[in-house]
Chain A
Amino acid sequence: GAVVSQHPSRVICKSGTSVKIECRSLDFQATTMFWYRQFPKQSLMLMATSNEGSKATYEQGVEKDKFLINHASLTLSTLTVTSAHPEDSSFYICSARSLRGPQETQYFGPGTRLLVL
């Protein structure tokens, strides 16, 4: 149980285009999902917390208009990187908090590798 999927797993795009990444909790409902970014050989940096049916809460330094987050249902959150630039190239990982089990734990997706040319 507690499986989280992400789509796509890899994406290469041209500078200036927008990219949408989906995060789904497959076997549980998640009122809260989280979006992280991880640069090579660095730890996970929280970008935003996504709550179903409400606006996302962004961490300091993360541009809301650039990283659009939508949490339309209890099993789906999307991150859209708008007008992507090469510096946005990174590994984006989502996680979800299950309504069952320890509320303190998060289950992570496999990540999406974004390369902006």
Chain B
Amino acid sequence: QKEVEQDPGPLSVPEGAIVSLNCTYSNSAFQYFMWYRQYSRKGPELLMYTYSSGNKEDGRFTAQVDKSSKYISLFIRDSQPSDSATYLCAFKGYGNKLVFGAGTILRVKS
């Protein structure tokens, strides 16, 4: 079983739709949960960061963590064509290392 599972997509949605991106993980030692956005040929950009179960909202983005189910989600409201990118979930335990999901390609059509 992989440490992190993330559907690579692509996920295509119309402009204005609510997008749901998800990752599951198996390592109970993961304490910190992050979402990064990566545009083509660019480095990842940190979108959301949380360390507790529940929801965290920032503008159009909501990160949700369910530690009991080992499941995290990123919701994007009122999606825009500029949201088209690859979204990477990332996890960290007690060491320095981040463990990334494979990334989900999102395409928002205008």
Tell me the A residues contacting B by CB distance below 8 Å.
4, 6, 32, 34, 41-44, 46, 49, 91, 93, 95, 97, 102, 104-111, 113
Bound Cα distance from A4 to B46, whole angstroms: 12
Q: B residues 44-72 with Cβ under 8 Å of A?
A: 44-46, 49, 51
Interface centre among A4, A46, A105, A109 (most CB of B within 10 A): A105
Residues A104 and B49 in contact, CB atoms below 8 Å apart: yes
Complex alpha-carbon distance, A111 and B101, angstroms: 18
B83 to chain A, nearest CB (A): 18
What chain A residues lie within 8 Å of B32 (beta carbons)? 102, 104-105
Complex CA distance for A109 and B102, rounded to whole angstroms: 19
Q: List 20 A-B contacts (CB under 8 A).
A: A34-B96, A41-B8, A42-B102, A43-B88, A43-B101, A43-B102, A46-B98, A49-B97, A95-B43, A97-B96, A102-B32, A104-B32, A105-B34, A107-B46, A108-B36, A108-B43, A108-B45, A108-B46, A109-B43, A113-B41
Residue of A nearest to B101 (CB): A43
Judge whether B49 and A111 touch: CB under 8 Å: no
Can you list, as one digit per residue, whether each of B79-103 has a CB less than 8 Å from chain A (1) or not (0)? Answer: 0000000001000100011101111
Main secondary structure of the interface of B (DSSP, over half): loop
* Chain B, interface residues (CB within 8 Å), range: 20 to 34
Which residues in B have their C-beta under 8 angstroms from that of A93? 43-44
Taking CB atoms, residues of chain A closer than 8 Å to B103 are 43
Collect the chain B residues with CB atoms within 8 Å of residue A49's CB: 96-97
Determine which of B8, B41, B88, B96 lies in contact with A111 in the assembled complex, contact meaning CB atoms within 8 Å: B41
Query: Measured between alpha carbons, how far is A43 from B94 in the docked complex, in Å?
Result: 21
